[in-house]
Structure 1
Amino acid sequence: MNSFVHKTLVVEIQAGVADRVPGLAHLGYDPADPFAVTVVFSHEGRVLARWQLDRDMLFDGLTRPAGTGDVRLRPESLGVERELRMEFFGAAHADGGRHHAVVFVWAEAVGDFLRETYRTVAPGDEQVRLDDFLAAVLAGS
């Protein structure tokens, strides 16, 4: 039976030119939406942001730059340790700039999470339930 996969990771969050601050990333994978990983970032008990990431892009970001637009991922080395650098771009400021935050997370922990998702739904075994999707779209209109 397919089951929801969840993992909470300690991360470091950097917004603008500020120093990194500790936070949490709550990663979730629901086999009903097999291509997506939901990430909720929090700091001191407050939710800062919620993003849905493509599971394949998250995997690719562990070994090479991945993503364009609002989400960009790339590996970074800290000696023997490896981090995943996750850049997020949000809404535009009045001056034309954009909100921007960078999250650093231990790459091995993200890899462990992804391996759990692959045990739940193997790459290539994802199924799109088109009838369910269309029903949800039509119900919302």
Structure 2
Amino acid sequence: MNPLVHQTLVMQLQTGGTHRFPVLTHLSYDAADPFAVTAVFSHDGRVLARWRLDRQMLSDGLRGPVGVGDVRFSPTGSSRWEELRMEFFGDSHPDGARHHAVVYAWAPAVAAFLRKTYDVVAPGSERVHVDDFLAEVITDG
């Protein structure tokens, strides 16, 4: 079985108070990093942001609000059009305000991606290889 899962989705980036525009989003999952999903957001061929997301938190966000720090997820919409609202907070501006982005994804598409990742590494069976992690930290440090 392939230890990698990739999916490309069109999501909506909300700017200002109400305006949304489409962003191409590449979701990827690697069994070698079983707790994380990488999301790369791009527009007009330019990468806007790259985030490593907690896979369980992403799943939980489809059912209810989660997150209190830089990343927050919550379901929104009607039963006909269910969305996952993803809120990201970045570095501070000189005036003290923080960079902030809200992205909306069609929830069934995110759920389908997660199901594919569960085929690779079932929830609860994730393992961290501590020896490999320590070797990497020592090599980089």
With normalisation by structure 1, the TM-score equals: 0.96
CA contact under 8 A between 1:71 and 1:87: conserved in structure 2?
yes
1:8 matched to which residue of 2?
8
Higher mean C-alpha displacement, 70-79 vs 31-40: 70-79
CA contact under 8 A between 1:85 and 1:105: conserved in structure 2?
yes
Cα distance in structure 2, aligned partners of 1:79 and 1:65: 17
With normalisation by structure 2, the TM-score equals: 0.96
1:21 matched to which residue of 2?
21
Which structure 2 residue ranges, 5 or more long, are not aligned? none
CA drift at 1:17: 3.1
What is the root-mean-square deviation of aligned Cα atoms in Å?
A: 1.1
Cα distance in structure 2, aligned partners of 1:11 and 1:38: 15
User: Displaced runs of 4+ in structure 1, greater than 2 A?
Assistant: 15-18
2:76 matched to which residue of 1?
76
CA contact under 8 A between 1:16 and 1:100: conserved in structure 2?
no
Aligned residues between the structures: 141
CA drift at 1:24: 1.0
Give the alignment of 1:85-124 within 5 angstroms: 85-124=85-124
CA drift at 1:16: 3.4
Measured against aligned partners, the alpha-carbon deviations of 1:12-59 in whole angstroms (never above 9, x if no partner) come to 001333610111111000000000000000011100000001000000
